[in-house]
């Protein structure tokens, strides 16, 4: 018996959202562009201010916060020291609802 299975990239690449570009606007706001050809404005300030963890709070230093990079379709800071799920960025839901 011989079974042949074909795989396509359809479910992998078309359903994955990734960050393609980002521009720091100021006051902890970043305009993020996605592979969906959409741009979203994300305000990180409330998240940073409400955090009690020192490794997150340190990004209230605006100079440190503005030094993000786009790597592998993700927006991240300091070699993955701070990173958010891309879907959360896309939905502008970086703070979890209580």
Domain that holds residue 63: 10-90
Specify the pLDDT at position 96: 72
What is the pTM for the complete model shown? 0.82
Instruction: For residue 95, tell me if it sits in a domain.
Output: no
Tell me how far CA of residue 23 lies from CA of 38, 88, 96, in angstroms. Answer: 13, 17, 24
CATH assignment of the domain containing 86: 3.30.2020.10
Specify the pLDDT at position 8: 40
Question: Mean pLDDT per 10-residue run, the chain (98 residues)?
Answer: 46 71 97 96 96 96 96 95 96 82
Instruction: For residue 47, tell me if it sits in a domain.
Output: yes
Residue 10: which H helix or E strand, with range? helix 10-13
Specify the pLDDT at position 80: 93
Number of structural domains (the chain) is 1
Instruction: For residue 63, tell me if it sits in a domain.
Output: yes
Specify the pLDDT at position 95: 84
């Amino acid at each position: 018996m011989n079974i042949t299975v074909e795989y396509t990239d359809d479910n992998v690449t078309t359903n994955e959202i990734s960050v393609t570009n980002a521009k720091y606007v100021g006051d902890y706001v970043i305009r993020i562009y996605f592979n969906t050809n959409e741009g979203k404005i994300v305000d990180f300030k409330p998240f940073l201010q409400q955090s009690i963890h020192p490794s997150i709070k340190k990004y209230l230093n605006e100079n440190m916060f503005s030094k993000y990079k786009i790597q592998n379709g993700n927006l991240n800071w300091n070699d993955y020291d701070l990173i958010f799920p891309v879907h959360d960025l896309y939905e502008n839901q970086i703070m979890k609802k209580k």
